[in-house]
Structure 1
Amino acid sequence: MAPEAPSPLPGHLLIPFASASAPPCQAALKALRLPHLETLLGELALATHDAGDDHSLSLPHERALALALGLTRADGSPCDDGQIPWAAAASAEPTVPQAWFSPCHFQIGTDHVSLLPGEQIGLTDEDARGLFEAFAPYCAEDGITLRFESATRWHASGEPLRGIACASLDRVSGRPVDGWMPPSPANPGGSQLLKRLQSEAQMLFYTHPVHDARTACGLRPVNGFWISGAGAMEVPAPLRPAPTMPDTLRQAALRADWTAWAQAWGQLDATHIPALLERARRGEAVTLTLCGERSAQTWVNAPRGGSARLGRLFKKLLGTPPAWKALEPL
């Protein structure tokens, strides 16, 4: 999803999947009891609202993380939707077009095809390496160099990956895949090449011994790969320190395990949120970014002048709204 930060920024807490669009999540949301988050929101002021919808290629937490890292276009504006060059930003040659190829299982239903990433089908290094070694020569023929990074993520580099718009793996995980890799006007030839490679991988993986071995063990086979994080940085620049970004809500949401998701929120409210609240009360600069599947909102330290204190007093008289009120619109 994103490059590893050299050192997290303790004053900025960025929470992916603080809310989700699924009806079971919205039902669980209203049952949450998050007293520390409610108190913290009362101490902070809303600074920015990144409004979006369920159909953006890049998720709100990915857009927020890119901005926090300084991963933008050359003029400082946000990257276009689906064109945050995560793979290039994590490399030593960020101006070279790159992407991540993620082996996965495409589940064929009656009216759609949905995607399950390698993590969810128990893909091992041994199985992934066999598929990688068979597929890499196909990529090389089309000017793409493939490097094995892990069982669930292969690093790709080459000119066909420049200007490619594609949905992140988090966006398509567990969802129908139709429409999530649209044509890229900046590189239509590259888009067609990548779709052809996806078709070739499907046929290659189906006839590979790994397919039969996994099927015989009752495991879902790898029958394709997903492309994400494609493109190149316009101007190479060192990334800023990343926010602290807990992953527990994201992991539960991608599994659609809303019981675990609610429990993860309870843990965050008992750990990360009180720590940020203490920093705010000491007068230190703090930032809280809450991200859902549509939008993201960022809160910062509220002003400390007389009028601001009066405003906070007025808010306390009205009562603190439950935390889910702030999370629901995300």
Structure 2
Amino acid sequence: MISKIKVRITKTISKWLKKVILIGSHSRKGVWINADSKPKIIICFDGRISHGGLVDRLKGIISFYQIAKMLDYEFKIIFKHPFQLSYFLESNQVEWEAIEKDEKFYLFSSKILYLVNEFDKNPLKIIRKSKSKTFFVYSNVDYLPVLFPDKSRDALNEIWRNNYDELFKTSNYLKEQLRFLPITPYIVFHTRFTSLLGDFSDTVSLVLDDEERQILLRKVLKSIDVEALIHQGNEIYVLSDSISFLEAIKENTNYKVLKGAPTHIELGPNDLDSHAKTFIDFYFIINSEKVFLVMQDKMHNSNFSKYAAIIGNSNFKIITQ
């Protein structure tokens, strides 16, 4: 009981410190008068705090774009850490890319909303009650179920997909990278091992010993084999966050993998090719016929393949046996 209280207190202090850091950082360049005629929501990925992986960021973007539409607010994105989002995704129907004037923090009419992992909040109500005109948002949560509590999962997925398509189109650079991917129909099996196999840094740190790794790998491969038998005749690809697992797939099976080593946006090497691999994998899943997420034992859930399947309107299934 005492340890749980300590954890709760530590988390509360951590959130408070991050809010203080964000307010202090923004207000240092604050100005007094807000000349904007229309309220504005700006979701930020600027390196001031940890923002999470690609899909965590997209969840925040889609959620607050939806809120901006519901309130008839302007919507902008500051995404410049560890790369400019426009390298890979450009504005489609909405001019979302923030420019210098959008980043101004108005001392009397701007507000910082720190909503990282704040799953029990309703940001629409928070913004509606506020007298502020400009909101700098830090969030990694999909709030669509909160915004539309009576809608089915299929209906929510359609809103998510439509919002994504309204906001984004692939850049010429990303189009060129995707040009080399196969175009024949295929299905994808996706796995997320995080640190379990000892070859991938993530926000968790559990590493299995050699025997545990082998047991887990056999279970995962068996799960893929069972499902693959049902889908004979399809091109089958395996995607993963673990390079050692992908090497094992190449050496021991007839399943296909994409070239390149998977990385995490915040924890991997900061170069364009590494970040491009994340988007290539994501769009490869988007364009697949079916998507299977394999989860065994201590493996982690992956929103990466789930939300790619939502965008692509692909059949998605989690395999746990």
TM (norm. structure 1) is 0.27
Higher relative contact order (CA 8 A, sep 6+): 1
